[in-house]
Structure 1
């Protein structure tokens, strides 16, 4: 009779838990389906590789090695424990049941016990990191959900070992410390209680385990633990191709009522999966240059706020069925969805919902982003924050015409004179007059050329960047390279306009530039600007560009290897090298600049604490070069301080934007007399004979 009651209670509880779990997961599925469909490129090889490396391999988690090992243990022991759960469930109805593994069961027992024990250790270590070590990135939001996770997992693991230990007492089995070391130790410790008491205690811990399993199962999809369900899906369906590549807007779509994203459901379904995949680990915010310098932007909070908004709004839009428990929608969504159920004739449109931009996400947050992708590089579940921010900026700029005054001025100057300062476009080539020691022909002054040298707006109009252009031209002359520039026919690349949300202006510039390239038969493009390099290489091809694109450091290293140029002069400098975001995180070029510096006698490379993939942005990207910082500490000053900690004689870079920001940083810190700032090309030019 007791066995029958036990079975009925189990079936009732498990059935209800599964029912609730399915309902919660199903609502999340419905909410994601609210998004727009995005083109899905199969690219199975790339997707499976990403799943193996970042999903099963947990690669990005090891950016913090302590957390990496902890999560690796949790991830793999979870699967082992789930197999053991099936056996444990059956043990509650069939005394002494074991999987029919024969002699192999003892090895399964050993594996299960160690897996359970290691999971318990990992849970306790995670508990220590959050509440003992008090990691800053884990302290952003204080509520009971995180504590519940640790408590639940601790109960899950200990109840397994306690159940197995008292099962041995219940069955009068000798404790097996070889193949059941932990439950065996428990059985040995409590062997004096007798089989009757052992049976009662076994069922106490068995039910404790089952109730915790079912509670946790319902809790998971409603919390940050939802990443356990969505992370693998997110990693697999993440858009492929060049990282950071932005989605193209079709301006010929006559049905489009707005451009950009002003409502949560106007994101793509893939973007919405991101929201539920977030683990709230804080790694993105911890590395965000805006966040660490006191700006309002927190990439993690941005995702979490949009997730909660989607859940709330989704509950209203989908008008849930009355048989779905209200709490599955979470917090405010419960009351909103209940309103929809009580007033069926009232449409979702008439219910007051907060605006995505303004109420949920502030404009200050959106304009604080430097588009450096440090957040995305850190994210263990492959969330993409930048494209969402740009989509929201697009709505502000192109639909509402709402943007900072500096952005308005920037767009006007680009439209009128094709440069950020509004200087007469006919002066674009004027810089050439000041450098008579180098030969820099225009495309109209030579019959043919191998490389089109894209000087860019910084190189054409900014006095400091013109020195980089001069040095690189000197290098190309020394290498005997056939090149030409567009001169006054050169326009702006449009990269910054695109990142600032003006997709229309970007596409206009893009099409004009491609037409110009085609008119002069351009097959190879070289530039000193990583931003132009990235957009030409990774984004222009979608609009018809067919050309090889090089950053100047790539070709400098090629020419050094070939012997076309020879760094023979000693350059005695201790250089703190700064990785630019658009060359590094966007295009994975880290070693080439360092190899160039190593080839120069006298140069000593100093690595900042944040270098390579973890390098901090200079603060100029995403249009921030042209928008004044009014919140917190200046990003360029923070980055310069990181460099000065190494006591360098020089700060080296590979980007005119970075060089400007770092130069300003040394001035702000009154260190410009002691520490020079130079581009790789300038350093190489100093090492050349003649």
Structure 2
């Protein structure tokens, strides 16, 4: 097709054929990018193994949902919509960008199939998208450079801000849109002067604006601007490509792969080393992570994939209460260390040996501050993982003997007595003696066979207040006609927190004992009222009969009519349900507890502003009850205030650890008399018909 201007493949630049310059830009750009990419991949090849290529259909679905459809972006509406526009624009314009690169070498190049109606439709779409990307980039620059949302801030202890890099990249994107528009606009303006056919301009688009503005320019001026726009676009394109591996915008390249390789299950913890059975761990020279290369290759890919959006830290309860932990900077500090140890330029200048992570880029308090609630992972739009990294770092500290003073005693008690309080094994079932008649709780004895086993776990067995949860559970199980028994003195702690605090061998001893006892009971089903025990039995154990939380038992009883509840009193009480982390985020049980509450006639329920997968951790999971962190205020205090803001005066939860923290937080917050906390099974017990 005849064009009004010489294409870049036929033009001359400074007495040189432009085609030669185009070829040189492509060769140099791709070579530099390949070298940079190889140097970024080098530490991943030295990292620990990982298994991320199973369940391919699920992984492809995650890519389509989280990466392509940008599923998590709208959780922050303003930034999310801007990002979706830029991301969608890049996908749409990638075809045009490649075409423009080739146009400098092949005159009039058009992709097969794009010379007819499809090409015309695409031309219109890309003009609209280029304009939308330019507008979104300019707005984003104002947000990052002037408005500066709080989650982008970088505290002094974490180093320099990344605002300049973000604004610079947005400027590069804007330049790409402008140069492409100028390239198209000059051609359209020249065609209009000469009466030559050209692509239709979409009114209001960048290309249309340039065509209108240059309608009176001379042919020589249009030709100069046309070629200049092309090479400005070409140089910007390859500069941008080579700049990506040098900073936080490397996620543009890695995010697709990171989402494909993201964890598919929640609540579980990675093994000490992939490829080794539990009985082979003694062959390892070291446990856990001590140096950057001890992480798995997927975790190094996480470091490269961080977009520095701050969503993880914005939702981290430890960060919210001033603990020395920010998930965002766990990643950024590790990425900076990788860049220093494996530099993109002058690789021979890098230090020969990687420094220790604890005492280097991380502090011990920082790693112990995590509650493993999973809020950070739930929020991350590119599938970055934190819990496994935290656990691996704790494994390394445990092996080196770096255990907080407040945790040493409960960990020793777990090893010697099977519970963190160090109480006698024979007293584990004493709560059952106090259970209200007519419920008789049968303790299991070796040789017995039971239908349903009530796994109580340590806090509900030994804490005076939490024993009432066990008693209420017993009465509710009896009410639905369940024939159940408890292990009593034969039960040990589930080991859920022992594993997440890095004591892998202790966890395995606890798991082996409990597994043997559960199987010896012959139980067809296991029920627990503790989400931590539930998560351990479901995610950390294996070869057990079906396990359910008591909320699932109650829902089934309500549906089949075996659990009948009388109406709530008209006493002005308003209830708010608090989602425990290990029942909700880690196991997806959000609706079952609410269904139980809504089955109580006349009960008034409200939702807190942070609920379901955005629930705010109480801060008391498992051994966190014993840990003494540095913090400005308690997580539980923030949580009970959220309930008060929602108009509730009763907080309902379904976890004994949450209940401990909520009751304590009510006192600390000065809300005694105006707020109370109760466990879900206790509330149901009060309303048994």
Q: Same fold (TM over 0.5)?
A: yes
Distance 2:349 2:141 in 1: 39
User: 2:17 is matched with which residue?
Assistant: 5
Conserved in 2, the CA contact under 8 Å of 1:571 and 1:600? no
User: 2:293 is matched with which residue?
Assistant: 265
User: 1:597 is matched with which residue?
Assistant: 597
Distance 2:186 2:364 in 1: 59
Per-residue CA shift, 1:154-188, capped at 9, x if unaligned? Answer: 11111111121112234435697954432233212
Conserved in 2, the CA contact under 8 Å of 1:525 and 1:549? yes
Per-residue CA shift, 1:289-340, capped at 9, x if unaligned? Answer: 011111111101101111222233345xxxxxxxxxxxx25xxxx5xx3336
Distance 2:631 2:681 in 1: 34
Q: 1:125 to 1:527 in 2, by over 3 A?
A: same
Partner SS, residue 307 of structure 1: helix
Distance 1:539 1:490 in 2: 16
Pick which of 630-639 and 284-293 moved more: 630-639
Choose which of 20, 24, 38 in structure 2 pairs with 1:26. Answer: 38
TM-score by length of 1: 0.91
Q: What do you get for the CA RMSD once the two structures are aligned?
A: 2.2
User: 1:229 is matched with which residue?
Assistant: 253
Distance 1:361 1:339 in 2: 24
User: 2:391 is matched with which residue?
Assistant: 390
User: 1:240 is matched with which residue?
Assistant: 264
1:565 Cα deviation after fit: 1.2
Conserved in 2, the CA contact under 8 Å of 1:663 and 1:672? no
1:106 Cα deviation after fit: 2.6
Partner SS, residue 575 of structure 2: strand
Choose which of 337, 356, 367 in structure 2 pairs with 1:309. Answer: 337
User: 1:640 is matched with which residue?
Assistant: 640
**How do residues 19-98 of structure 1 correspond to structure 2 at under 5 angstroms?**
19-40=31-52, 42-92=54-104
User: 2:157 is matched with which residue?
Assistant: none
User: 1:318 is matched with which residue?
Assistant: none
Distance 2:50 2:109 in 1: 50
1:237 Cα deviation after fit: 1.9
Conserved in 2, the CA contact under 8 Å of 1:96 and 1:167? no
Partner SS, residue 466 of structure 2: helix
User: 2:517 is matched with which residue?
Assistant: 516
Gaps in structure 1 of 5+ consecutive residues = 316-327, 341-347
Distance 2:189 2:239 in 1: 28
Distance 2:194 2:536 in 1: 70
1:167 equivalent to 2:165? Answer: no
User: 1:496 is matched with which residue?
Assistant: 497
Pick which of 91-100 and 581-590 moved more: 91-100
Partner SS, residue 492 of structure 1: coil
Distance 1:43 1:68 in 2: 29
Distance 1:94 1:267 in 2: 46
User: 1:324 is matched with which residue?
Assistant: none
1:290 equivalent to 2:300? Answer: no
Conserved in 2, the CA contact under 8 Å of 1:499 and 1:622? no
**How do residues 394-405 of structure 1 correspond to structure 2 at under 5 angstroms?**
394-397=395-398, 399-405=399-405
User: 1:564 is matched with which residue?
Assistant: 562
Distance 1:163 1:592 in 2: 58
**How do residues 68-467 of structure 1 correspond to structure 2 at under 5 angstroms?**
68-92=80-104, 101-140=115-154, 141-143=160-162, 144-171=164-191, 172=193, 179-181=201-203, 182=205, 183-248=207-272, 250=278, 252-315=280-343, 328-329=344-345, 334=346, 337-339=347-349, 351=352, 353-397=354-398, 399-437=399-437, 438-444=439-445, 448-467=449-468
Q: 1:209 to 1:519 in 2, by over 3 A?
A: same
Distance 1:195 1:94 in 2: 23
Distance 2:255 2:267 in 1: 18
Partner SS, residue 604 of structure 2: strand
1:257 Cα deviation after fit: 1.2
Gaps in structure 2 of 5+ consecutive residues = 1-10, 155-159
Distance 1:575 1:685 in 2: 16
Per-residue CA shift, 1:24-53, capped at 9, x if unaligned? Answer: 111112221111222455211211111111
Give the count of matched residue pairs.
658
Per-residue CA shift, 1:433-488, capped at 9, x if unaligned? Answer: 22242321112399543210011111111111111111111111211210000111
Conserved in 2, the CA contact under 8 Å of 1:244 and 1:386? no
Per-residue CA shift, 1:395-418, capped at 9, x if unaligned? Answer: 101x20111011111111111222
Per-residue CA shift, 1:594-651, capped at 9, x if unaligned? Answer: 1110110221111111110001100013632210132222111111221121232200
1:254 Cα deviation after fit: 4.8
User: 2:5 is matched with which residue?
Assistant: none
Per-residue CA shift, 1:100-128, capped at 9, x if unaligned? Answer: 61354332221110111111122123223
Partner SS, residue 72 of structure 2: helix
Distance 1:622 1:268 in 2: 27
Conserved in 2, the CA contact under 8 Å of 1:31 and 1:311? no
Conserved in 2, the CA contact under 8 Å of 1:524 and 1:547? yes
Pick which of 142-151 and 248-257 moved more: 248-257
Pick which of 231-240 and 354-363 moved more: 231-240
Q: 1:649 to 1:213 in 2, by over 3 A?
A: same
Partner SS, residue 49 of structure 1: helix
Distance 1:217 1:590 in 2: 43
Partner SS, residue 252 of structure 1: helix
**How do residues 570-649 of structure 1 correspond to structure 2 at under 5 angstroms?**
570-572=568-570, 573-621=573-621, 623-649=623-649
Distance 1:372 1:219 in 2: 35
Q: 1:576 to 1:241 in 2, by over 3 A?
A: closer
User: 1:534 is matched with which residue?
Assistant: 535
Partner SS, residue 480 of structure 1: coil
Conserved in 2, the CA contact under 8 Å of 1:492 and 1:509? yes
1:282 Cα deviation after fit: 0.8
Partner SS, residue 531 of structure 1: helix
Q: 1:103 to 1:460 in 2, by over 3 A?
A: closer
Conserved in 2, the CA contact under 8 Å of 1:571 and 1:601? no
**How do residues 657-676 of structure 1 correspond to structure 2 at under 5 angstroms?**
657-676=657-676
1:84 Cα deviation after fit: 1.3
